[in-house]
Amino acid sequence: MLAIEGLTKRFGTNTAVDAASFTVDEPRMIGIIGASGAGKSTMLRMINRLTDATEGRVAFEGRDVLTLRGKARRDWQSDCAMIFQQFNLVPRLDVVSNVLHGTLGRRSTLATIFNLFPREDIHRAIDILARLGIAEHAAKRAEALSGGQQQRVAIARALMQEPKMILADEPIASLDPMNAQTVMEALRRIHEEDGRMVIANLHTLDTARRYCDRVIGMRKGRIVFDGAPELLTTGAARDIYGAGADFSEEATSTEIREREPYAEAALRDAEATV
């Protein structure tokens, strides 16, 4: 249903995404991993048409995504929801309004400007919020919520779009582990219950392994790994992160275990001086 061929993006001389190709035949939960700057965000942004591609083709159920213009392009964006690392909600607006923004692509500009959202949309928004367990915050301002709650509002907005596909750009990178888990679980549940395709950029191997059906690894703009999470050995990870033999998986983990030796060293120093 999604076919990407030779997708390329160049910023000046810097090639952010370099002839990436892959196809997805049925709704899957896909994780994209790679070091910072590997081109993960750029790829998702091109698929959603937030950024224009330099070359290549993206086809979704027969639609030639990259050539869409104007209304057709906005329709595509409304079919292809996007979730961001920083949530990208309107912080000063209440939660329901933020969720209702998911329908903007479909409603007339004038009506939305005067806040004329149909009643059933409002009900649906509440239902979605309830499903994500944050219905009681519906009337609060988005900025008053915790990070994990805000990300769930963003997911609610995405669901409101009734999208065929959800793109998530490092959805848990700014969350603490507790919230990260809630959010990843929500995404997984949506994938399973609604059968929507989910493509998520992730920055830790363990998250990708835990939640995804398929993992794509990128390095310097190229796809260097594509397979089931079980195939993601330490060797494969080394290739993706371009690390040497001293690579240890923890270097990409959110758990900051590596600080321990340091603290011990400091203690030894301190004892030496005392």
Ligand X SMILES: Nc1ncnc2c1ncn2[C@@H]1O[C@H](COP(=O)(O)OP(=O)(O)OP(=O)(O)O)[C@@H](O)[C@H]1O
User: Footprint of a copy of itself on this chain (CB under 8 A)?
Assistant: 177-178, 181, 184-185, 188-189, 192, 206, 210-211, 254-257, 259-260, 262-263, 266-267, 269-271, 273-274
Residue of 160, 207, 169 whose CA lies nearest to 188:
207
Q: Which residues bind ligand X (CB under 6 A)?
A: 11, 14, 16, 34, 36-42, 203
Among 149, 151, 161, 204, the residue binding other proteins under the rule CB under 8 A is: 161
Compute the CA torsion angle 243, 245, 247, 248 (nearest 10 deg): 160
For residue 114, count CB atoms less than 10 angstroms from its CB and return exposed for 0-12, middle for 13-18, buried for 19 or more: exposed
Q: How far is the CB of 37 from other proteins (least distance, A)?
A: 19
Smaller CB separation from ligand X, 99 or 205: 205
Site string for other proteins, 117-156 (x = CB under 8 A): x-x--xx-xxx-xxx---xx-xx--------------x--
Stretch that binds Mg ion, among 41-49, 96-104, 191-199, 202-210 (CB under 5 A): 41-49
CB closer to Mg ion out of 41 and 182: 41
CB-side neighbour CA atoms (13 Å) of 172: 24
Name residues whose C-beta falls within 8 Å of residue 35's C-beta, 6 or more positions apart in sequence.
219, 240, 241, 242
Q: How far is the CB of 239 from a copy of itself (least distance, A)?
A: 24
Q: How far is the CB of 61 from ligand X (least distance, A)?
A: 25
Q: Which of 21, 23, 86, 234 binds other proteins (CB under 8 A)?
A: 86
Q: How near is the Cβ of 14 to ligand X at its closest, in Å?
A: 5
CB neighbourhood size of 125 (10 A): 26
| Residue closer to other proteins, measured from CB, 130 or 265 | 130
Measure the CA–CA gap between 163 and 111, rounded to whole angstroms: 22
**Helices within the chain (DSSP H only):** 40-48, 70-79, 95-100, 109-113, 119-131, 147-160, 177-194, 205-211, 234-241, 259-273
Q: At 246, which amino acid appears?
A: D
8/174 with CB nearer other proteins: 174
**Residue 76 burial (C-beta neighbours within 10 Å; 0-12, 13-18, 19+):** buried
Cα(123)–Cα(102) distance, integer angstroms: 14
Pick the binder of other proteins from 5, 55, 94, 213 (CB under 8 A): 94
Out of a copy of itself, Mg ion, ligand X, none, what residue 178 binds, judged by CB under 5 to 8 A for its kind, is a copy of itself
Look at residues 177, 178, 180, 154 and name the one whose alpha carbon lies nearest to residue 167. 154
- Which residues sit at the interface with other proteins, rule CB under 8 A? 48, 50, 73-79, 81-82, 84, 86-94, 96-97, 100-106, 109, 112-117, 119, 122-123, 125-127, 129-131, 135-136, 138-139, 154, 157, 161
- Which residues sit at the interface with Mg ion, rule CB under 5 A? 41
